[in-house]
């Protein structure tokens, strides 16, 4: 089994706010991340797929194809957007790095698995070079 990873970057803004809580609690739990005008990051998205190399091409997946899938399913929705205001999955969920990793998995998995040959193994989202979240499809 080979694990193949492709990286891409996107820049987006967000804020952390739980509508069920009073303002004071949001500020206490989320600190600066609760500033209502939002703030932004240069995110790095890492997509890892697992599979066996094709006997003819030697590829687990075609990297150009994977790049196009990532652009179509994730970057076109997230890059240079406000995640809270412009992406449907964060209308009701807080766009924490954890939730972005889960949402990216949900956007990518159908397209990657439908292609056959390789399966989605891991999503890692870096919010900064020092902070990241990972989702492996677990319940």
Question: Catalytic residue positions?
Answer: 33, 80, 127
Shortest distance in whole angstroms from residue 61 CB to another protein: 23
Judged by the rule CB under 8 A, the positions of this chain that interact with another protein are 16, 18, 20-21, 29-31, 93-99, 101-102, 124, 129-136, 138-139
Q: Partners of 82 in the beta sheet?
A: 13
Q: Cα-Cα-Cα-Cα dihedral of 14, 16, 19, 21, to 10°?
A: -170
Report d(CA 16, CA 112) in Å as an integer. Answer: 30
Pick between residue 2 and residue 131 the one whose CB is nearest to another protein: 131
What's the closest the beta carbon of residue 28 comes to another protein, in angstroms? 11
Task: Supply 88's token pair.
Answer: 């449907």
- Encoding tokens for residue 95? 């766009």
DSSP state of 96: -
CB of 121 to another protein, least distance (A): 13
Q: Which is nearer to another protein, 87 or 99 (CB)?
A: 99
């Amino acid at each position: 089994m080979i694990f193949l990873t492709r990286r891409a970057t996107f820049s987006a803004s967000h804020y952390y706010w739980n509508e069920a809580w009073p303002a004071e609690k949001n500020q206490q739990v989320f600190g600066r991340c609760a500033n209502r005008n939002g703030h932004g990051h240069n995110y790095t998205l890492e997509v890892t797929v697992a599979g066996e190399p094709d006997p003819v091409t030697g590829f687990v997946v075609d990297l150009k194809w994977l790049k196009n899938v990532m652009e179509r399913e994730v970057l076109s929705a997230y890059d240079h957007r406000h995640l809270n205001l412009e992406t449907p999955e964060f209308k009701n969920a807080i766009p924490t790095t954890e939730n972005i990793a889960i949402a990216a998995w949900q956007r990518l998995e159908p397209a990657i698995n439908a292609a056959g040959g390789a399966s989605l193994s891991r999503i890692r989202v870096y919010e900064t070079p020092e902070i990241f979240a990972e989702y492996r499809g677990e319940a």
